[in-house]
Amino acid sequence: MMDNRPARYSYKTRIGNWNEDLQMQEDKVRKYLDRKEKGQLMINKIARNMQGSLKPVGLTFAKDGLIRYGDHVMLYSVQTEGVLSTDITDRDPGNIEAYSVTTSTITKGPVARNVFVIMPPTNDKKTQIGDFLTFGQPFVLKVNPALTTKDLSLSSVPLSPMQFSKISKKQLVLMSVDNSADIIFTARYRNVEQRFENDGHPVPGNAELVLQHRRTGKCLFTDKINYHNDFGTEYEVSCNTSSVANRKGILMHEKSGRMTSDNASKAETPGNYWAFLTASEASMEKGVTKGKQPETSALIDKMKKQIMKRSGMTGLTSIARVFRIMNDNFDGFVSESEFNKGIADMGVVLEAKEAKILFKAFDKDNNGKLSYNEFVLALRGKCNKRRLALVDAAFVLMDKTKDGVITIDDLKGVYKPTSHPEVADGKKTQAQHLKEFIGYFEDASTKDGKITLDEWRDYYDSISASIGSDEYFELMMKRSWKGLQ
């Protein structure tokens, strides 16, 4: 007789997709622990950003209290009582690489994210580092090199239906890689009645002034409009000339001769008032390279990133070949003009003075000529100990005959070219492909069909230069050479 009573379930009974749910939960925990170990969690990324952005840096100390090109300064806002700051993790969704700008009251001390460098525009060939910045003279506000090697500048674009500030919908201001007229500003005297006669006078530090965007004529502006980011609640920055409406007073001044039509007709409000803050004592200038050219290491990083952006991971491996092609007389050296032409052919964009700095840094014996090996080594560097151990182990694995070189005979036992598309299609024989394969590792001056340990290391120095993570380099090596431990 069948029991038609309802089934009873105890708390131990499992129903539904319990096994799949359990497996999913375990997978989530496993992925979380893996990302935690590799430092890929959001909290790790924020911590790294905070650590780099809040690193203490120096401010320029000026005995005469005047601002010069090349000075490291903070930009203080009278309205918010904060300082201009940038967040290099808060990227703008537009086509040009750019990052958010705010005024922050959270950190008022000089740190990497709120100290900037005053530089002349790229097309200004007359102004030199160390020259006085004067009222009405164009300048560019660059990001601190201690924050990032990217060439970021304070930028603003004309207000449009597609480009506007996130909260107030005013003219957008960002830290951008753009190098157009959008990054040029001028300092204007605060008192509108005395602005005209003060043009051309040196700009004092720690004094209120107005910063005008040269292309649009709008002034840099901030107010207590909350902007939330990883650092907390800060204030939005835009370009907006906020002026006082006092038409009757203006007409009276014009009639009495105190103001002419050449002057700005209205005074700005405190939202447009800023001040360049400099060091109060010389000890605060630590780490500032005032009046000096950019550091060679920063220029090398800039060059490497541009090469890899154009040519990918293999970009750095082809540098020596490019320079050998440039060397018309095959003497193993290039002149400064050939050097400039070569980096331009590789798609590297450097200012003339930056290229000159690099050439002098690589020209160790000061003979006006640069050797290939010297340049390539300086640009890409050597493998560290961990990577070098993997590279040497792979060489030993490949050298089946144990004679200190890798030949076609060694490759036949561990490398099968039959899977290569050109071999499979019959376009090349296995022997031809193996010969080409060895050619990738060999020095162009010694094409003998043998790979020495030095050539092997030299090749992987090039590969290593384009890989930031030791873990990824190890994974790449083990996948490339089966049996590598």
Helices (H) and strands (E) in the chain, counts: 15, 16
Answering whether pTM is above 0.85, one says no
pLDDT at residue 262, as a whole number:
44
According to the model, what pLDDT value does residue 254 have? 61
Output the pLDDT for position 27. Answer: 84
* Helical H segments across 415-452, by residue range: 421-424, 430-441
Burial 258-281 (b: 16+ CB within 10 A, else e): ebeeebbebbbbebbbbbbbbbee
3-class state of residue 475 by DSSP: helix
Contacts within 8 Å (CB) and 24+ apart, 106-111? 106/82, 106/231, 106/232, 106/234, 107/54, 107/83, 107/231, 108/82, 108/83, 109/56, 110/56, 110/57, 110/58, 110/59, 110/74, 110/284, 111/53, 111/54, 111/55, 111/56, 111/57
Tokens 């450097």, residue located: 350
Ranges of the chain whose pLDDT falls below 50:
261-263, 290-293
Using CA of residue 413, residue 418, residue 423, residue 426, what is the dihedral sign? positive
Say which residues have a Cβ less than 8 Å from residue 41's Cβ, sequence separation at least 6.
32, 35
Q: What is the pLDDT of residue 473?
A: 81
Look at residue 366 in the predicted model and tell me its pLDDT.
Answer: 67
pLDDT at 62: 86
Please check whether residue 299 is in contact with residue 357, taking contact to mean a CB–CB distance below 8 angstroms.
Answer: yes
Model pLDDT, residue 328: 64
Structure confidence at residue 298 (pLDDT): 74
